[in-house]
Structures are given as C-alpha cells and as structure tokens.
Amino acid sequence: MKVAIQGELGSFSHEAARRMVPGCTLVPCARSIEVFDHLDSGRVPVVVIPIENTLAGTVTEHADLLLGREVFIQREFRLRIVHNLIAARGAKKADIRRALSHPVALDQCRDFFRQNPQIQATPFYDTAGSVKHVIADRILDTAGIAGKHAAAVYKGTILAAGIEDDKRNFTRFFLLRKKRKILPRANKTSIAFGLKNIPGALHKALRVFAERDISLSKIESRPIRGRPWEYVFYADFLRGDDKLARGALLQLGTVAEMVKVLGIYPAV
C-alpha cells in the first residue's frame, strides 16, 4: 500500500507510517498540502501526518487542513521523539554555527540553543531533509536536527544525542483516508465545531458532553481564515460511534453553526 508522508525518508513521519502500515511503500512530499493533494487525487489510499507534540503543541497547518479537506481519521499513533544534532562526517560540534530542522522540531530543542548560543536555529522544510541537505552539500559548519534513523539513511555523524527539552517528548500522528471507515473497537472521536460569538455559546456546546458524562480529552481553538476574531474549536472525546455519541453530536448541531466529525478511531 502506498502512504504519503510529509518529509524525506528517515523522518519521524517515515517511522510512524512504517509502524502504522507495515510493509507500506512511502511517498515523500516536501509540503504538507502535497500530502493532502495526493489523498484527494487518489494517488495514495492513505496518508500519515503529525498532528500534535507534547512540547510544541498542535501542528496548526495540519489542523487547518483537516478542517478544510474531506478526509477521515482512521487511526492515531504516538511516537517517542528523540532529536539529535547530525552533521557530515568530519564535522565537529565546536565548528557548528547553524542547526537546520523543521520549525516544530526546533521548538522542541529550546534548551539546547540556550546552552549553545553560538548555534543559530534555522527553519528547514523537514527534519530528515535537513540532514540530507547538509551531508549532500558537505556543509561542515551546519548540522541538521533529526532522529537517529536519518543519520543512518544519509550516513551522517551524531554530534549530540537526545537534545530535546524533555524526555517525555511524544508526537501524535494520524492515519487519514478520504472516505469514512471506522475500525473495530473505535472509542475516540475528533470533531471541529464553530459557535456564534454570543454569551454562553461555549457553555451550551460543552454541556452536551457533560450531561452524558462524556469525557473530553482535548479542546482548543483556532482562528478561522477570512473571518478575523472568529474561531473554530477542535475537540476529542472518548466515545466511538454509539448512540450516546450520536446524541451528543445531534444536540451540538442545534447550538453550533458548524459541526464536522474529523474521525472516529481506537484510542492509544
């Protein structure tokens, strides 16, 4: 099965996809929107995207794409993230002046940059891609920040291991399909909903879950593009496609301007 991912081979998305879809053929994409375009066009049946990190928070571009595209979350997966400073062979840590990586990865290594002020954090399109770049061009004063698998794939040298701020650093990934397909034992639902900007609107929305004793494991808001100072709420709740959940969503639809079920899947 073909699976589209954002990033190069050796990226964390690469590892997550291999774990979620064993034996798959990976289709690396440079940009997140290309991943969704591959799914829209039918070039791949599934894609894997990172959606949330325990240090850096939500991957906002992917949250926006989940809302804007017709896709369905089928599975979630949590991957332990270990960041390493990786350079071309022959490079020395004392000579490194720039560290390239995806902005989300850089955000997970703030303490490293505070302790090494001579190294400038420089955004790059991908974690593994940063390693591929510095090694292919043999840039000896620049390193990439990525997982150890990237060092193996591109034959780089790990100059510093485990440079993430906290060892409890996990990224949550979603496996997406274009059409709704619910796996057995699905017991978690992700939704997005919009509310009118009136007093008590959020209270009324959350009450539909409280009255049914449904646990919300996450809720956050994001700005709505083209509508300044208006927001959409993303929420996860711990029920599958059962009568109680359907009743809550039906009632939510009476108080919300918009409700979209993003996925129903087994919780991990």
Catalytic residues: 171, 173
| Contact status, residue 142 vs residue 134, Cβ threshold 8 Å | yes
Q: How many residues does the chain have?
A: 268
If you compute the radius of gyration of the chain from its CA atoms, what whole number of angstroms results? 20
42-to-13, 36, 78, 120, 240 alpha-carbon distances in Å: 20, 10, 26, 40, 27
Mapped onto helix, strand or coil, the DSSP state of residue 5 is strand
DSSP letters, 6-41, are: ES-TTSHHHHHHHHHSTTPEEEEESSHHHHHHHHHH
147: CB partners within 8 A, 6+ apart: 10, 11, 12, 15, 81, 82, 83, 84, 127, 128
Report d(CA 265, CA 185) in Å as an integer.
8
